[in-house]
Amino acid sequence: MELKRLNKAISESGYCSRRAADRLIEEGRIQINGKPAELGTKVSPEDRISVDGKTITTENSPIYIAFNKPIGIECTTDTSIPKNIISSINYPERIFPIGRLDKPSEGLIFMTNDGDIVNKILRSRNNHEKEYVVVVNKVITDSFLQGMRNGVPILDQITKKCVVSKVDPRCFRIILTQGLNRQIRRMCEHFGYEVRKLKRVRIMNIHLGDLKKGEYREFTQKELSTLNNLIGNSSKTID
pLDDT at 45: 77
Which one of the listed residues 52, 102, 142, 168 is annotated catalytic?
Answer: 102
pLDDT at 125: 59
The CB density around residue 187, as the number of other CB atoms within 10 Å, is 25
Three-class secondary structure of residue 152 per DSSP: coil
pLDDT at 239: 34
What is the average pLDDT across 106-113? Answer: 94
Percent of the chain surpassing pLDDT 90: 63
Closest by CA position to 53, among listed 78, 34, 77: 34
What is the average pLDDT across 203-221? Answer: 95
Three-class secondary structure of residue 121 per DSSP: helix
Confidence of residue 36 (pLDDT cuts 50, 70, 90): very high
Q: Which domains does the chain have, with CATH numbers?
A: 4-55 (3.10.290.10), 64-118+209-230 (3.30.70.580), 129-203 (3.30.70.1560)
Provide the greatest CA pair distance for the chain. Answer: 64
Active site residue 102: yes
pTM: 0.75
Closest by CA position to 100, among listed 223, 227, 213, 203: 203
Higher pLDDT, 60 or 159: 159
pLDDT tens by residue, 144-168: 999 999 999 999 999 999 999 999 9
pLDDT at 123: 65
